[in-house]
Structure 1
Amino acid sequence: MTTQIERIDVTPRMSKIVRHENIVYLCGQTAKGAAAGDVVHQTHEVLSRVDTLLAKAGSDRSRILTAMIFLRNIRDFAAMNEVWESWVPAGAAPARTTVQAHLASEELLVEVTITATIS
């Protein structure tokens, strides 16, 4: 039996979206630009980017299975959570992990990686 893997928005380094059967994997999403703003601003931007990629893959935030959230500073946990909790549909909270991490550049305060289902 052959399983189908579809890669969307592929670069030499990564795919922004990978679909395998009815599962969607998004690469880590971060805010753009050197003046990306505080963690609240960045979280809003990141979750907006997640919405766009999920739609492109044929999914949406109500179908998220897992989320991995990386914070540059764990003291931003409460502020990030305020944005997150207003974004996640009621009754559709995914399994989630949040950790403090050194992100790819100093201005990045939050990165989110998502796994969702299509159906």
Structure 2
Amino acid sequence: MIERKHVSARMSKIVKHNGVAYLCGQVGNAGDSVADQTSECLSRVDVLLEDAGSSREKMLQVVIWLADMSDFAEMNAVWDAWVPEGYAPARACGEAKLARPELKVEIIVTAACD
């Protein structure tokens, strides 16, 4: 069975299937610093993980898009403090043109769920 949560015409914020939760990409507040946008993204991920019956410790894979790879260290400083020790997911990070020029980071999470 597939369960969709927070569904709009364009997307679902969470799709659950076979014990896995797929979260839509999360962004921060446009115009904020990379660190602040990353922190806001991760706060939003926390809310969605809880809603999906999951947690940071159950993350399987994370894809991070940066508008500029020169922001890699700034984003990682926030990321490293957020990920529980011993529970780092498989992760990829690349550079991409995001939906709006003021956005600097987008985070996409896949996690095991109840």
| Cα displacement (A) at 1:21 | 1.9
Residue by residue over 1:28-85, the C-alpha shift from the partner in whole angstroms, topping out at 9 and shown as x without a partner, is 00113x43x1100000000000000000000011100000000000000000001000
Inter-partner Cα distance in structure 2 for 1:118 and 1:42? 26
1:8-27 alignment runs, 5 A limit? 8-27=5-24
Point out 4+ residue stretches in structure 1 off by more than 2 angstroms. Answer: none
Residue 88 of structure 2 corresponds to residue 93 of structure 1: yes
TM (normalized to structure 2)? 0.97
Residue 61 of structure 2 corresponds to residue 56 of structure 1: no
Q: What is the total number of aligned residue pairs between the two structures?
A: 114
**DSSP-derived class of the 1:70 partner:** strand
Inter-partner Cα distance in structure 2 for 1:39 and 1:11? 28
Max radius of gyration: which structure? 1
| Cα displacement (A) at 1:118 | 1.1
Sequence identity, in percent? 52
Inter-partner Cα distance in structure 2 for 1:59 and 1:23? 9
Inter-partner Cα distance in structure 2 for 1:109 and 1:68? 14
Inter-partner Cα distance in structure 2 for 1:94 and 1:42? 20
Question: Cα RMSD over matched residues?
Answer: 0.8
What are structure 1's unaligned runs of at least 5 residues?
none
**DSSP-derived class of the 2:81 partner:** helix
What are structure 2's unaligned runs of at least 5 residues?
none
TM (normalized to structure 1)? 0.93
Partner of 1:80: 75
